[in-house]
Amino acid sequence: MRRALGLTRSSLALVVGMLAPAGASAQSLLSAGGLGIPVDPLDARARAIGGVAVGLPGGQLLPTDPVAAADLTVPSVTITLANAWVDVDQAGVAGTASGARFPALGVAYPVKTWGTATLTYGSVLDQRWQSNREQRLVLSDGSARVTDRFTSDGGIAALRLGFAARIAPSLAVGGSIGRYTGDLTRNLTRTWDSVDVSLDVAPTQTGGFWNYSGVTATVGATVDVAQVFRAAANVTWSGDVEAEPSEDTSGSGATFDFPLELRIGASGALTPGLLASVGIVRADWSKAGESLRDSSGRSALTVGGGVEWTRASIAGRRSPIQLGYRRSTLPFTLGSDEAVETALTAGMGIDFVRSEAATLAGMGIALERGSRDAGSLTERFWRASLTLRVAGF
């Protein structure tokens, strides 16, 4: 066991090193609205149970819930990957989008008997999108077709250092402090159709680069009642998030007042082996949206829930199955249109190696089928999430 773990440790360190800079993306045109579209840094299990962010039974490593790590009694590493395939219909014009991202990464390490320290890196807002526009310009010797392409690439993520402790058999508390990271590149390029223009017309490029920075902190608690019911809540405070332009950027910087975010969730056993979970996430982005140009912020609310059948197994390995539903009002308008996302969720997990009290190697898969609507924009998406978890080294 020790030899195998030694090999795994170096491999995982390499993988984590490669993934750490990667941002997260929801692959949505709604990223064009305000500061982007939120991407919850959840693992596959939480996504499969309707996106419940806190209050799920068992020990987990979630950037949004530092208390969830209280029951991780062995060192753990968790990586979540998400692929999305999106069909976009905007005022009758169809398109597609897709991509693979890493919305949540984390490491947990028990500190003596005091509790569990965590280091997580999770996505917050995705700002990747682009827009094309073609038009014909009249010149003295005819006309020429030009294409304006605007690209926005980047997003905001958060690196958090947390600690969770079970201070009583039925009560766990925890908190995290963190820093918002990320950047945004926005470029506009006007290119000329070389067939239309028999001249060497160079494209026009203009743009800017901004770095995001800010601090955040989360505190929360979990209450267990007779191992059949768990309720949890946390609140995340964020300071001003600064968008600092690079030296060669002509555009100005800005400060965004990120809101207080409240997460509440609960889970209970309906029958032996069958759990039900519900959760809400609420944040008022109105103030953060005050300095936006073509968008505004509003109160965002996510409500989700689902069930988990924990007694399923595959080849003798524990393989819980989850089903759920989620509905979210998104924090920023697209133009003046408010956006809503709904999704049906499902998933399953496999515990490859399990000790008496913990999963030493496991995998979770979630599949979501959902839609987003904002005015004339409709998106239907599939999203597959994969969480890999290795523990015990």
The residues in 29-88 that bind another protein, with binding defined as CB under 8 A, are: 29, 31-36, 81, 83-86, 88
Is 386 one of the binding residues for another protein (CB under 8 A)? yes
Bridge-based pairing state of the strands 317-318 and 313-314: antiparallel
322, HSE (Cβ side, Cα atoms, 13 Å): 32
Out of 9, 179, 186, 318, the residue judged to bind another protein by CB under 8 A? 186
Q: For the residues of 91-120, what is the DSSP string, one character each? A: TTEEEEEEEEEEEEEEEEEEETTTEEEEEE
Out of 131, 194, 299, 313, the residue judged to bind another protein by CB under 8 A? 131
Q: Residue 177 and residue 162: Cα distance in Å, rounded?
A: 6
Which pairs from 286-292 meet CB under 8 Å and 24+ separation? 286/259, 287/257, 287/259, 288/35, 288/241, 288/256, 288/257, 288/258, 288/259, 288/331, 289/34, 289/35, 289/331, 289/332, 290/257, 291/254, 291/255, 291/256, 292/34, 292/35, 292/332
**Nearer to another protein among residue 163 and residue 332 (C-beta):** 332
- Sites for another protein among residues 289-348 (CB under 8 A): 292-295, 335
In angstroms, what is the minimal distance from the CB of 97 to another protein?
4
Is 4 one of the binding residues for another protein (CB under 8 A)? yes
Residue type, position 214, single letter: G
- Sites for another protein among residues 136-155 (CB under 8 A): 137, 139-141, 146, 148, 150-153
In angstroms, what is the minimal distance from the CB of 249 to another protein?
8
Which residue's entry shows tokens 């984390």? 106
Bridge-based pairing state of the strands 274-284 and 261-271: antiparallel
Q: Is the dihedral of CA 254, 332, 216, 209 positive or negative?
A: negative
- Sites for another protein among residues 165-184 (CB under 8 A): 184
H/E stretch holding 5 reads helix 2-19
Is 98 one of the binding residues for another protein (CB under 8 A)? yes
**Nearer to another protein among residue 122 and residue 289 (C-beta):** 289
- Sites for another protein among residues 217-256 (CB under 8 A): 243, 250-254
Is 206 one of the binding residues for another protein (CB under 8 A)? yes
Is 203 one of the binding residues for another protein (CB under 8 A)? yes
Contact mark string toward another protein, 346..385, x via CB under 8 A: ------xx------xx-x-x------------------x-
Out of 58, 75, 110, 207, the residue judged to bind another protein by CB under 8 A? 207
In angstroms, what is the minimal distance from the CB of 324 to another protein?
21
**Nearer to another protein among residue 45 and residue 190 (C-beta):** 190
Is 95 one of the binding residues for another protein (CB under 8 A)? yes
Out of 13, 111, 205, 260, the residue judged to bind another protein by CB under 8 A? 205
Count each helix (H run) and each strand (E run) in the chain, helices first: 2, 20
End-to-end, the C-alpha distance of the chain in Å comes to: 9
> Residue count at the site for another protein (CB under 8 A)?
84
